[in-house]
Every structure is written in structure tokens, then in C-alpha cells.
């Protein structure tokens, strides 16, 4: 792993590892939001065939919690709370939008609590790995706030409209089993295995067909907002582009040679 002491963003092979929170309690790290926005924009412009490119993004926390949301004390102490919170929400959304639009898969290692902005991040990732003691909570109503970070967009798509209303309006706490059953997290493992399992998943994805995985992500993101006919046309264009590319050529050759494909 290439890293510098104290860095919140590091490269580990083809995996971009991002620490989204700081401290033992897991407060959202506002300083990393702008940094990651720029990095994800760079990832979007990379050549998927570049062996030195990013193939997956791994999101982690610093301490015992994944992320417990923003600094509530800073909210309370702001001279102009409306302006302060609006500005922070815009910075957070500058991170969330490219995360949702990422051309490479995203994985979250969700240890401890994912609350408020932390739950928004989990809902925006492709694959969230939780521990058996992991808990998720909207948390916004608890301080008299409505959500940000896209939670009102992502959560209904994950759990359905009726369940999303219940979770958000009642500020429901989801334990790991409930989050898995609802589809908010993809995998539940022992607490001590969360990071290792998330790392394995991210590295496995990073060695996959990057362009094809990006097309899959794009199709899944758009599917809620288009008619079936439009989605079928998009699928036809995407699979044709895959067939014409280097990844498709390698996949078909490997199939014919009865071996595992080597995409990178």
C-alpha cells in the first residue's frame, strides 16, 4: 500500500481507499469531501484498460464506527446555522454525486454505527459489508433535521417507498440482520472480519472488467427513471460496446481457452 501518515485517501493496488470519518466516534471528515470529489472526477476520466488506473473504491472509518454523521456541536455553534449547514450539505453532495456516478464499483466497510451522513454513504455504495453488531440510523429527526446525502433518493430504491417512510419518519434503528434483510447492506460477517472482507471484495472487483462493471452501474442507476423500452435500448448499446472492447475480447478468448479471464 502506498500511503503517507495521516492521509485519508490512499492507493492500494487498483483500490482507492477513502477514510470518510475521523476520531473514535466516527465524525464525518469534511476536509476529505472536497479531496474525494476531485479524485472521483479523475477516475471518471481514466481509461478503463489502464492497468495503473483505479478499479474500485473502498470506504472505511477511522475508529470504532464507520461514520456517525456531521459535527453536531459545530452546527449548534455556527453564527449562521442555515448558511453553515447548507454549505456543508453542498460539500457533502459534491462527494455523494460522483460516488453514485462512479465508473468503478464502490464498497463500504461498515463497522459500528452508520448514522446520519454515515447511513447516507452506505445507501449510496454498491456493496456494504457490515459486522454483526453494526447499526444504522437516519438520525436526522433526532436533532430536528431532514436528511441530506441523497438518503431520500437511495433508501426508497433499496427498501421500497413504504419501508423508507417508516425508517425515516420514525428514525428507526436497523441492526445488521434487519439491514441485510432490507437490502441496505449486502453482507454481514463477524465484527473483526469486516475490514478484511470489504478489502477482499474491493480488490476482487478492481481486477474485474472495469468498463463492463461501469456500464452495469450506469444501467442500474438509470433503471428507476426510464421506461422498459429505453432501458432495453441502453442494454443493447452497452453489451455491444462491451463486445467490441478489449475486455470482451479477453473474456471470449478465455472462455474458448477454458481459463479464467485476465482483465488487468
Domains plus CATH for the chain?
9-206 (3.90.226.10), 210-256 (1.10.12)
What would the pLDDT profile of 242-261 be if each residue is shown by its tens digit?
999 999 999 999 999 999 99
The pairing of beta strand 127-131 with beta strand 56-60: unpaired
Give the C-alpha separation, 109 to 122, whole Å.
Answer: 9
Contacts of 237 (CB under 8 A, 6+ apart): none
Long-range CB contacts (< 8 A, 24+ apart) of 221-227? 221/100, 221/101, 224/157
Contacts of 1 (CB under 8 A, 6+ apart): 10, 11, 12, 13, 17
Q: How far is CA 28 from CA 85, 91, 125, 192, 259, in A?
A: 13, 12, 16, 22, 44
pLDDT confidence tier of residue 41, bands split at 50, 70 and 90: confident
What would the pLDDT profile of 105-127 be if each residue is shown by its tens digit?
999 999 999 999 999 999 999 99
> The whole model's pTM is what?
0.92
Amino acid at each position: 500500500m502506498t500511503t503517507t501518515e495521516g492521509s485519508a485517501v490512499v492507493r492500494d493496488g487498483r483500490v482507492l481507499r477513502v477514510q470518510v470519518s475521523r476520531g473514535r466516534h466516527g465524525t464525518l471528515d469534511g476536509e476529505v469531501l472536497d479531496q474525494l470529489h476531485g479524485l472521483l472526477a479523475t477516475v471518471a476520466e481514466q481509461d478503463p484498460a489502464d492497468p495503473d488506473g483505479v478499479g474500485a473504491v473502498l470506504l472505511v472509518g477511522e475508529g470504532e464506527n464507520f461514520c456517525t454523521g456531521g459535527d453536531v456541536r459545530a452546527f449548534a455553534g455556527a453564527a449562521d446555522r442555515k448558511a453553515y449547514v447548507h454549505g456543508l450539505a453542498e460539500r457533502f453532495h459534491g462527494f455523494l454525486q460522483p460516488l453514485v456516478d462512479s465508473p468503478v464499483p464502490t464498497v463500504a466497510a461498515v463497522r459500528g454505527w452508520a448514522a446520519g451522513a454515515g447511513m447516507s454513504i452506505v445507501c449510496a455504495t454498491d456493496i456494504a459489508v457490515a459486522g454483526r453488531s453494526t447499526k444504522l440510523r437516519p438520525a436526522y429527526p433526532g436533532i430536528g433535521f431532514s436528511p441530506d446525502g441523497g438518503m431520500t433518493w437511495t433508501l426508497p430504491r433499496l427498501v421500497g417507498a413504504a419501508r423508507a417512510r417508516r425508517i425515516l419518519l420514525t428514525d428507526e434503528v436497523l441492526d445488521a440482520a434487519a439491514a441485510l434483510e432490507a437490502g441496505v447492506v449486502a453482507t454481514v460477517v463477524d465484527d473483526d472480519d469486516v475490514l478484511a472482507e470489504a478489502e477482499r471484495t474491493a480488490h476482487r472487483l478492481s481486477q474485474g472488467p472495469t468498463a463492463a462493471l461501469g456500464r452495469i452501474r450506469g444501467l442500474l442507476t438509470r433503471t428507476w427513471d426510464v421506461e422498459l423500452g429505453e432501458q432495453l435500448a441502453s442494454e443493447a448499446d452497452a453489451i455491444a460496446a462491451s463486445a467490441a472492447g478489449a475486455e470482451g475480447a479477453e473474456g471470449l478468448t478465455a472462455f474458448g481457452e477454458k481459463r479464467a479471464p485476465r482483465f488487468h
